Homo-oligomer: A and B are copies of this chain.
Amino acid sequence: MFVERIDRARTAMREREVDALLLSVGPDLPWLAGFAALALERLTMLVLTEDGPARLVVPAFEADRVHDPEDLLELIPWQETDDPAALVATALGGAAGGRLAIGDHTWSRFLVALQSELRGSSWTTAGTVLGPLRAIKDDDEIAALGRAGAGVDQIALALQSGEIPLIGRTEVQIAADLRTMILASGHSKVNFTIVASGQNSASPHHDPGDRVVRPNEPVLFDFGGTTAEPDGHPGYCSDTTRMVFTGTPPAEYAEAYEQLRRSQEAGVQAARVGTPAESVDGAARSVLHDAGLGEYFLHRLGHGIGVEAHEDPYLVAGNSEPLVAGNAFSIEPGFYIRGRWGARIEDIVVATADGPRRLNNSSRDLAIVEA
């Protein structure tokens, strides 16, 4: 698997005139080589040039935790008093001084050190090379995303059925339940657990706080994690949003929610191979606009998803790239009326030759739970 991905990365490097990839923390390295760098101050960095071995600069005492099932990596271990940036420069060989693509999530302290070491080089991001490759999922990746989706769908069901108590509990307490359930549902990592009750539902990325959920208000739940996979296989992400109302919703809210449901459906149905990403956004947005809710839809329609929770393709005005088969992304319109309430509905969808396929299948109705 990784041999083939490295070959594709090298082809993309040539197309984009990039002489080397330099990957550290973040999802590129696990996707490309089956191994994650620790997010700490000791540099781990994959150095991939157009030919020769893939070299991994790694703290010597962490060499034993490098998974290299396909025996692809030439390890360059460094001791506590060595300068890892200098070792990266050496590992670059003839590519030093060329056009270098740094991993998007690499800590800036390492890029600053590398730029000081490699003064003649020009810099771009690894995302320009790997983003388009990662955006097209193969069957195994779609299966992993499907398992991730099924895991969080069970949690959505527990919220919608009232199995997870809401009224009288704080957002933080409910978020802790979600964290536990995400880890119990095939995920190795929790990425986020938004619980936004009452007026807080008008803040799209609300941090759960000490507010207690009361009767007769909406509660927004947006949660996901990264699946647990065998050693050397990167995990894939889940991400879904569902709404619960703690009582009978006022007609005004119920009607707005129904328009949101129609908007989300329109977005999913528009998500077809060949359709520009921004047109999918537009299809969902126009439903809310026509319903007089357009001004309350504050963000883009969606983001790609894979080994990273947010990645290419982004469904946003200005992105005219057409969808291709294997793209996986969220469709998540919302409305957010400050001081009152908000709502969002989110599914992960895959663009296939047979049309859009949802990977989240819990009910998209507004769930009612009574006190």
Contact = CB atoms under 8 A, between A and B. Distances in A.
A303 B111 CA distance: 22
A203 B112 CA distance: 30
A101 B202 CA distance: 35
B106 A102 contact: no
Interface size class, chain A: 35 or more
A303 B42 CA distance: 12
Nearest to A104: B109
Contact of A41 (B60, B207, B310): B310
11 contacts: A41-B310, A61-B299, A62-B203, A62-B204, A62-B205, A65-B207, A80-B300, A81-B316, A105-B108, A111-B112, A112-B125
Given A41-B310, A61-B336, A108 B115 contact: no
Interface in A157-186: 176, 179-180, 183
Nearest to A230: B210
Contacts of A309: 40
Contacts of A204: 61-62
A115 B123 contact: yes
Interface in A204-242: 204-207, 209, 231
A27 to B, nearest CB: 12
A38 interface: yes
Contacts of A108: 102-108, 110-111, 125
A52 interface: no
B300 A65 contact: no
A124 interface: yes
A153 to B, nearest CB: 22
Given A41-B310, A298-B60, A298-B61, A317 B80 contact: yes
A247 interface: no
Contacts of A300: 80
